[in-house]
Amino acid sequence: MRSMLFTRFNLLIIFNLMTIINSSLAQTKIEGISYLTKKPVSVEIKDGKIVGIHQLEKLSDNSRQLYIAPGLIDNQVNGFAGISFCFAGGQLTKEGIVKATQELWKKGVTTYLPTLTTNTKEVMLRNLSLLAATKNEPALHGSIAGYHLEGPYISPVDGYRGAHPIKYVRKPDLSEFNQFYEASGRNILTITLAPELEGAMDFIRKCTEMGVVVAIGHHNANKEVVDLAVTNGARITTHLGNGCANTINRHLNPLWPQLANDKLMASIICDGFHLRDEEIAVFYKVKGPDNTIITSDVTSFASLPPGEYKNEEGETIELTKEGMLRLPAQNVLYGSASPISRGVARIMKITGCSLGDAIRMSSTNPAKLYGLNDRGEIKKGMRADLILFEIGESELQIKKTYIEGNLVYKTGE
């Protein structure tokens, strides 16, 4: 009996100590140079939320002038660090999802949308179900907001189709999409489709009614079709300037209508390969920081060494030493090997935009578009998803990443 009492007493002491420790950890402060004002600030955090932002005379450790900003939000992540969200063959596992997420933290990505590209119905259902079953795993710290379907309802035409397998491309099918939606746990946040396809307008309306953000991409729609798609609910164009044929008519092409429609946001890939600098500069001037989203279109080949690889279809994929990822057989890009942190640094260099605007395009704007109202800014009440970083020549150099106030990554320096 005395032994049992002693054990209970010890457990009570341990419980009280853990309560005290957790209470002390529940409230903390993180310092950095504000991404908006470029002045030293202290961000006060309690229970995973931002409860205060205070301007400082100087940082406690003034030797490390690290910027502080909200974590990056990437709306197009096909895979990362050898993990693909798209393929079949049992390649995607819970462990793989966790690995890809944790590797993305090293690049400052605190929220992302795993992206499934054109494939069979069976593969898409399987992978969506697995993602849904993994979404709330504690090890992910809520990093997965929902999912992006890029296809399968896209243009079958070479060039506009990009690297999507022609044999799986099909017309919009609302019944099939509803099965995808249910398999995802009703967490498909966005879908990219070609608006010129038969049945696309009704599909756009229905998805919009469901609260799914409709994007147009991998298409060859004219002005009338683009404008009608926007009228029916389409809100953004996926990787503007890409998913496009190499040779187009100088007047009649899908680029001008998307640029001309002021109600249509644009996501752009700024990895140095998908768009030329002058294209990024023009797209930015037309859409501005309020209607532009920086995306990565990053794939499972990101962070792998240069060389030749095989995709699921047995096609050769080349990752050059410069970092370009391409499908030589079609002379098209095969997604990106560069994280969004590269795009943030490059758009600043190309356009001269401020760090504040670059973060708006890579965090605040996607948060607003997808209804993630608890993140994307450093404000009271927001999730304490924060990054500390330096601005490198070609990429943000992430030093620390916090999610809900928890330090999930720290550089080895």
The predicted-structure confidence for 188-231, as pLDDT tens digits, reads as follows 999 999 999 999 999 999 999 999 999 999 999 999 999 999 99
- What does the pLDDT average to over 145-163? 96
- What does the pLDDT average to over 384-413? 94
Tell me, what's the pLDDT at 16? 47
Higher pLDDT, 173 or 12: 173
The CATH architecture annotation of domain 71-369 reads Alpha-Beta Barrel (3.20)
Both structure tokens of 171: 């017309």
**200-210 vs 223-231: helix crossing angle, rounded to 10:** 30
For 328-356, the pLDDT digits (tens) are 887 778 888 899 999 999 999 999 999 99
Per-domain residue ranges of the chain: 71-369
- The percentage of residues in the chain with a pLDDT greater than 90, rounded to a whole number, is 80
